Amino acid sequence: MEKAVSELEKAASEPAFWSSAADAQRKMRTLSRLREDAQVWRGLESQAESVDGLVTLALEEQDGSLFETLALETAELREKLDRLELRLALSGEHDRRNAIVAVHAGAGGVESQDWAEMLVRMYLRWSERRGFQGSVLDTSHGDEAGIKSAIMQYTGDYAYGYLKSEKGVHRLVRMSPFDADHARHTSFALVEVLPEAEDGVDVIIDPNDLKIEVFRAGGAGGQSVQKNSTAVRITHIPTGIRVSCQNERSQYQNKTIAMRVLTARLMEYESRERSKEMDRLRGEHVSPEWGNQIRSYVLHPYKMVKDHRTGYETSDSDSVLDGQIDGLMGSYLESTVGRRARA
């Protein structure tokens, strides 16, 4: 890391380095990240040397208080190493970025729409616990309950790195609250996760390639339905990618949010076309139905949440649905480190 820092600093001092603003910005972000990471590891090295010296002193003095201090120092060192082990899984090109998450109800009608809304709440609760700023950018409400789809943004260091573990189909098994017979139902929802693009750096959009339409926002009725045409739909003509937003009260705000989502989707599209690494960015886009789920949440006849990719499971489904999903995330991210090492 320090060698790379030195090389980048030397390159940045050359006039030609700034000939391409976009390329220079990418390299400067890399330089900043490498400096920070190298500082973390050097600090850990210093702490390890201190613990090593404490071991020698404790053995020489046979002082009980020194052994207690050594135990605390060692535990702290181990905890830091565990966190850095997980950090190895967050070394992808876009892992440090903000994330845009889309949740879509799958097969199952109102059941799946309610399940999709439960997932939105789970991720918002998780972001609160982890100190990320989560917000819902757009929502398409269900006809009876729940949501058909929702788009959210999560802001914070490594938001995309953590949330990329959630992309795929999520399956729920429970006693239906919408069934008069209280029969057991299985529902599906699809979660998409995209790294947020940097405007004017990752993707350059020609305004002539955009078709922008405005329409009246829909809602549950009454005052929630806008009388003015504030909702915005933007279509990128060359790719056919279409996004819309109607949550905000002004047309300008909705257009800004729609462009943010469109840029992220275009970055994903261009990356897929350029490198064929779609799995790295969002996972294979599969139909939200039987046989494709990455995780199952069982609430009846027993309680269990199981990640089918890693085998990690917990019986505390209530806590998981309340946003305590770090164990599930961590097991997946750590498994990706092992796969990369074997590759």
Please tell me which residue, 282 or 201, carries the higher pLDDT value.
201
Whether the per-residue pLDDT at 186 is higher than 60: the answer is yes
Q: What is the pLDDT of residue 146?
A: 93
Distance CA 324, CA 130 (A): 10
Residue type, 25: Q
- Alpha-carbon distance of 221 to 202, in angstroms, equals 39
**How many whole angstroms separate alpha carbon 231 and alpha carbon 214?**
6
Q: Of 261, 252, 250, whose CA–CA distance to 217 is shortest?
A: 250
CATH 1.20.58, applies to 2-90: yes
pLDDT value at residue 221: 41
DSSP string computed for 80-127: HHHHHHHHGGG-STTTTS-EEEEEEE-SSTHHHHHHHHHHHHHHHHHH
Task: Give the model's pLDDT for residue 279.
Answer: 54
Q: Mean pLDDT, to the nearest integer, of 258-285?
A: 73
d(CA 196, CA 290): 30
pLDDT cut 70: percent of the chain above it: 89
User: Range with the lowest mean pLDDT among 40-54, 152-166, 209-223, 260-274?
Assistant: 209-223
| φ/ψ of residue 305, rounded to 5 | -120, 125
Alpha-carbon Rg for the chain, nearest whole angstrom, is 24
User: Domain residue spans in the chain?
Assistant: 2-90, 95-343
CB of 271 closer than 8 Å to CB of 277:
yes
- pLDDT for 293-343, tens place per residue? 899 999 988 999 999 999 999 999 999 999 999 999 999 998 887 554 444
pLDDT at 26: 79
**Per-residue confidence (pLDDT) for residue 289, from 0 to 100:** 47
Say if 2-90 and 95-343 have the same CATH topology: no
Full DSSP string of 14-37: SGGGGSSHHHHHHHHHHHHHHHHH
Look at residue 125 and tell me whether its pLDDT is greater than 90. Answer: yes
Q: Determine the Cα–Cα distance for residues 158 and 219; give it in Å rounded to an integer.
A: 34
Q: Which residues contact 65 (CB under 8 A, 6 or more apart)?
A: none
The confidence score (pLDDT) of residue 280 equals: 53
Would you state the pLDDT for residue 286?
53
CA distances to 162, 282, 342 from 92, in Å? 11, 13, 17
**SS3 label, residue 251:** helix
Residue 284: is its pLDDT beyond 80? no
CATH topology of domain 95-343: Alpha-Beta Plaits (3.30.70)
Q: Is the pLDDT of residue 68 over 60?
A: yes
Share of the chain above pLDDT 90, in %: 47
pLDDT in tens, 214-264: 888 765 443 444 556 788 999 999 999 999 898 877 888 899 999 999 999
- Pure H helices in the chain: 2-12, 21-61, 64-87, 110-130, 159-163, 251-275, 278-281, 317-321, 326-342
What sign does the dihedral 106-111-113-115 (CA atoms) show?
negative
Does residue 316 contact residue 199 with C-beta atoms inside 8 Å? no
What pLDDT was estimated at residue 218? Answer: 65
Task: In whole angstroms, give the CA distance from residue 265 to residue 177.
Answer: 35
> In this predicted structure, which of 22-36, 143-157, 317-331 has the lowest mean pLDDT?
22-36
Q: Is residue 199 pLDDT above 60, yes or no?
A: yes
The backbone torsions φ and ψ at residue 236, rounded to the nearest 5 degrees and listed phi first, read: -85, 105
